[in-house]
Structure 1
Amino acid sequence: MSKQGRPVNCEHVERCVIVVVLGVGSLLPWNFFIIASQYFHQRLAAAPNATCNATSNATCNATSGGGDYSYGLWMPLASNLPLLILSLFNTLWPSSWSGCDLPAARCKRRGLARDPLVVSSMASIIACFAVTAVLVNVAVSPRAFFIVTMATIVLINMCSGVLVGRLLGVVGLLFQQYLPWFMSGQGGSGLFAALVMLVSIVSEVDALVYFITPCIVTVITLLCYLRLLKLATSPRTHSHTRGDAVDSPLQDVAPQGPPGITEITALSSSSDAPEEGGDQKRDENLEKHCGWHVFNKIRCMALCVTAVFLVTLSVFPVITSRVRTVYKDNAAWDKVFTCVCCFIVFSAMDLLGRVLTNCVQWPSKESWWLPVAVASRGVFVPLLVMTFRLPAFLCRDWFFISIMATFSFSNGYLASLCVAYAPQLVRGKDREAAGLLMSLSIALGLSLGALVSFCIVKALGVD
């Protein structure tokens, strides 16, 4: 029990819930635009004086020029390239790579309860979704709608680039043991968006409801962010975490790990602190190059997580969303096939993989099996391209579902594992820097994957 008489387990549950919500909110904008591709395709093919009911599978009347705007082709580039640029800006924003100069550490040192960039990013995301919701029932030409939509996606993902990096850095510094829960929340955002879309398709509700939903979730995310920082700076939290190496960001001790590893890491962390009367110049030089120093320690995890998302974005959703059911005579199943077999299966299995890392963490961070497992995912690219390009190869729907399930599970598990391992490889005050670098690596993988998917679609000659 804490001094206030509140069970410590309740505080642990509260933090878990808050971190999960932060994970959901950080990737929800990206997921909502990916999963709503059917709505955008319909609007871009519609006549200028027509609007579509968001999510019905009925084809809107085509007009000249509507087919010139390929949402599925340009959306990954419009979303991931700004995300990469802003993630790079977000990583290089601190004046130095010393832990005390990073945003979360300043927050801790000064007792500041909010980061202006996080608050402004969430406010901008809410405004962008509000504009998208308003356009649902506004008659505009396909060209104008395409320009506004792409501009909105660019702006939202610029904000998401800042948001993901800052939240990942804050959680990594203040509550490092909850990083797997943050990754689970990111996986849950895709499942949440897919389920909202499925309900919209089945009930044929207006798209206005679909796009208002992320506005509400983003507001809740902002409140959870402020609550988390309040918990981090409260005296009650420090009173029962003073001896907790994981939850106390001011202590450079290692998180709990397997026997032997914890002791070695703790010894390494304690040796990082300069002794009184020691060589101050050497310590200053280390701090000057701390960014490169941190990257050297986590480079294997950074490269692995980049490779994971490169393979994933190479075929998802640009290729996988184009696969059609073999049971085309079943109108009801054909209507929901893409939403269920592509988006819901991917999101659910991706979430399962992320959650599993809270219980099982294999391979270990020192094992060579981890990069081997990451590299082996490359086989999914030709496999999924074949399911789209060669319909005879897809003899049953369950075959495509099985591939998607394995593909998405490995994405969630390996990505979450790499992100969870990275802060364990650095000193306590460098954990936020590690989180920012991992966020940059994720954005790099997404952007490279989007470029590869663009090339694949052009090579296949599809719109």
Structure 2
Amino acid sequence: MTMSPPADRGQAVGLIIFVLGLGTLLPWNFFLTASEYFNQRLKSNITSNGSSGVAAKDYNYDSWMALLSQLPLLLFTLLNSFLHHWVKPRLRVAFSFIVIFLLFSLNAALVRVPMQPDTFFSVTMATIWFINMASAVLQGSLFGVVGRFPSRYSTLFMSGQGLAGLFAALAMLFSILNTSSEADADRSSAALGYFITPCVATLGTLLCFLLLPYLEFARFYLNKHQSQSVEATLELCGPTDKKVLENGSKHQEANGKLFREPEGDQERSSVLQVFKKIWLMAMCVTCVFAVTLSVFPVITLRVRTVYQDNSVWDKVFTCVCCFIVFNAFDLAGRSAPSLVQWPSKESPLFPICVFSRLVFIPLLMMCNVETSNLTILFSHDCAFVTIMALFSFTNGYLATLCMSYAPQLVRSKDCETAGSLMSFFLVLGLALGASLSFLLVKLV
């Protein structure tokens, strides 16, 4: 017996999943690209009598931000991997979106509130922790939900996440171009935009998620793991009919048709059993993001242009060559697997390509980093942009392949578990990279 899934009319489900990917990372990417705003407020170490003679304290904001964002991501993504059987995705996702909305509203309210740097640093670190705590549950839940759909929807979700970073970087560029270096009011307005925009995007994404179960195509895949009705049918059938039903029900997707496996074979595998099947993809996605976050943005943010006499270019260099180049090529890399998937998941070249990205760490450290202790081999802007383009494209391409290949290595019943596990190892890579960034920033 075959069951044909309904058509995704107007690609509505594909669009919603793309928007979910966009809305998942857009808030944090806006927070990430607002690093200049946070650093500027932390440098304004003014005493009570208005004197600015006291040397500004070095808070090492970028490294602490990276570490305190990845630790809750790691812990709560792991927690979500064990709790997703007991708490419905609809509740987990809605709660996470609401928490993120409230925390970004708080940051928007604090933009115009004068605070001492120590207090501001403590409040900022606390909000970073709780934002990423909610984001961990949100991403882990959505990766599990998307894992129930055909593999191309995973690519759409990853592409949406890539576009989120590009939007945030472009917003950063526009705010730099439209803000006078001496206008505090304009700086405050730009900072408000960093936090108000994610609030609006979060509410819109939540509405899209709540709409998803009402679409027939989405409902088919979201409910196909429920086997009560099939079991009841088998109990009512005679021995001959039962055998026909069981033999004709393989739970695989081929040419748009769904085949169900016998229910006896459809018990969920344990987390360890699923991990044994996807361990290579898990290690690969960990390596991809560990390499990326070890140098981006902590090291790349400190690279300076050789054309410092050009005040306009010097002003936008970091935004364009660090954030926009990274996010544009990362988006291209995330979208490329919809056209070509090489190497294949069975190829020994795949892990070789992943681990070869380690070469980007010394390459970026030997660019024109401000006050660097290392030998600068790539001082020109073009060299930095070229390295950044390859660095970001391979990040998006290989990460998307990992996330797409993993569910293909397990049975359909275990796709949600595989998606949640891959989300955990993705975050593990981010945490390892954030930790490594502390050492690398000392070296340069």
Q: Place the TM-score, normalised by the shorter chain, in its bin.
A: 0.7 to 0.9
2:143 aligns with one of 157, 168, 185: 168
How far did residue 394 of structure 1 move?
A: 2.7
Paired letter, 1:211: F
Which residue in the other structure is 1:40 paired with? 38
Query: Which residues in structure 2 correspond to 1:146-157 (within 5 Å)?
Result: 146-157=121-132
Partner deviation per Cα, 1:112-134 (whole Å, 9 max, x = no partner): xx622211111111111111111
How far did residue 102 of structure 1 move?
A: 6.3
Partner deviation per Cα, 1:306-343 (whole Å, 9 max, x = no partner): 00000001100000011000100000001010000000
1:441 aligns with one of 418, 425, 428: 425
How far did residue 247 of structure 1 move?
A: 9.8
2:95 aligns with one of 107, 120, 124: 120
Which residue in the other structure is 2:238 paired with? none
Query: Which residues in structure 2 correspond to 1:51-450 (within 5 Å)?
Result: 64=54, 66-94=56-84, 101=85, 115-174=90-149, 176-204=151-179, 205=186, 206=189, 207-231=191-215, 234=216, 253-256=251-254, 270=261, 273-274=263-264, 287=268, 290-387=270-367, 388=369, 389=372, 390=374, 392-450=376-434
Contact (CA 8 Å) 1:177, 1:255: kept in 2 or not?
no
How far did residue 237 of structure 1 move?
A: 6.0
CA–CA distance in 1 between the matches of 2:66 and 2:125? 10
CA–CA distance in 1 between the matches of 2:250 and 2:172? 45
How far did residue 254 of structure 1 move?
A: 2.9
How far did residue 175 of structure 1 move?
A: 5.0
Q: SS at 1:274's partner residue?
A: helix
CA–CA distance in 2 between the matches of 1:349 and 1:436? 26
How far did residue 163 of structure 1 move?
A: 0.4
How far did residue 456 of structure 1 move?
A: 1.3
Q: 1:144 to 1:290 in 2, by over 3 A?
A: same
Paired letter, 2:32: I
Which residue in the other structure is 1:56 paired with? none
Q: SS at 1:66's partner residue?
A: coil
CA–CA distance in 1 between the matches of 2:115 and 2:402? 44
CA–CA distance in 2 between the matches of 1:193 and 1:77? 21
Q: SS at 1:447's partner residue?
A: helix
Contact (CA 8 Å) 2:96, 2:138: kept in 1 or not?
yes
TM-score, length-scaled by structure 2: 0.84
Paired letter, 1:71: Y
Total equivalences in the alignment: 402
Which residue in the other structure is 2:23 paired with? 25
Which residue in the other structure is 2:442 paired with? 458
Q: 1:369 to 1:254 in 2, by over 3 A?
A: farther
Paired letter, 1:310: A
Q: SS at 1:115's partner residue?
A: helix
CA–CA distance in 2 between the matches of 1:132 and 1:419? 32
How far did residue 459 of structure 1 move?
A: 3.5
How far did residue 355 of structure 1 move?
A: 0.5
Which residue in the other structure is 1:58 paired with? none
Paired letter, 1:439: S
Contact (CA 8 Å) 1:314, 1:449: kept in 2 or not?
yes
CA–CA distance in 1 between the matches of 2:136 and 2:58? 29
Contact (CA 8 Å) 2:42, 2:117: kept in 1 or not?
yes
**Structure 2 gaps, min length 5:** 1-5, 180-185, 227-248
Partner deviation per Cα, 1:270-322 (whole Å, 9 max, x = no partner): 4x7427xxxxxxx8xx75x6211111111111110000000001100000011
How far did residue 229 of structure 1 move?
A: 2.5
CA–CA distance in 2 between the matches of 1:8 and 1:120? 30
Runs of 4+ in 1 over 6 A off after TM superposition: none
Identity of aligned residues (%): 50
Contact (CA 8 Å) 2:13, 2:218: kept in 1 or not?
no
Let me know the Cα RMSD of the aligned residues: 2.7
CA–CA distance in 2 between the matches of 1:10 and 1:48? 59
CA–CA distance in 2 between the matches of 1:189 and 1:20? 10
How far did residue 256 of structure 1 move?
A: 4.6
How far did residue 16 of structure 1 move?
A: 1.6
